[in-house]
Amino acid sequence: MNNTDDQIERQIDIDADATRVWDLISRPGWWINEGTIVDHDFDPNADINVIHHVTYGAFRIQTVTLDSPRHAAFLWLAGENDDEAAAKAGSTLVEFWIDDRDGGVTLRVRESGFASLDMTDADRRKTIDENTEGWEQELAAADVWAMQPWALQ
């Protein structure tokens, strides 16, 4: 999969149907965890949700597209509120695709827009490297979650 100075792409095959995987990926910020899927509070009708993580803090996630059960897109907004400084800090676009395959689906993710972030080149490279590792961990967690008998509320 590709990594550039502006985007990360990863994918995983999951032995579940598209509807089951959609139940997870359509949730803003589902990927904000430590490798285990947790049930973050969010408002499905809100344009922007603030997802809280006990270790990592608050993250603003704007829902861009929900095309059930194939494509979801979110803006991961920099900063902690919607003021002008946060808007200037930039955001990344996080997109998920669910494609059918024999025995299940392929879940793909692309996070792009790192070039828009207000940071040094060294910090941008570090963020891309950390997020690359994170997406591998989150996709593996999605695979485990999809095989569980329980569902998120």
The single-letter code of the amino acid at 31 is W
Query: Average pLDDT in the 99-107 region?
Result: 98
Any domain includes 152:
no
Domain with 117, as residue range(s), is: 7-146
Q: Does the pLDDT of residue 90 top 70, yes or no? A: yes
The single-letter code of the amino acid at 93 is L
Any domain includes 1:
no
* 83 vs 11: CA distance, rounded Å: 34
pLDDT band at 88 (very low <50, low <70, confident <90, very high): low
123's CB contacts (< 8 A; 6+ apart) are none
3-state DSSP assignment of residue 88: helix
* 114 vs 1: CA distance, rounded Å: 17
CATH for 16: 3.30.530.20
Report how many domains make up the chain: 1
Q: Does the pLDDT of residue 145 top 60, yes or no? A: yes
Question: How much is the pTM?
Answer: 0.89
Any domain includes 107:
yes
Any domain includes 63:
yes
pLDDT band at 152 (very low <50, low <70, confident <90, very high): low
14's CB contacts (< 8 A; 6+ apart) are 21, 104, 105, 106, 107, 142, 143, 146
Any domain includes 2:
no
Any domain includes 79:
yes
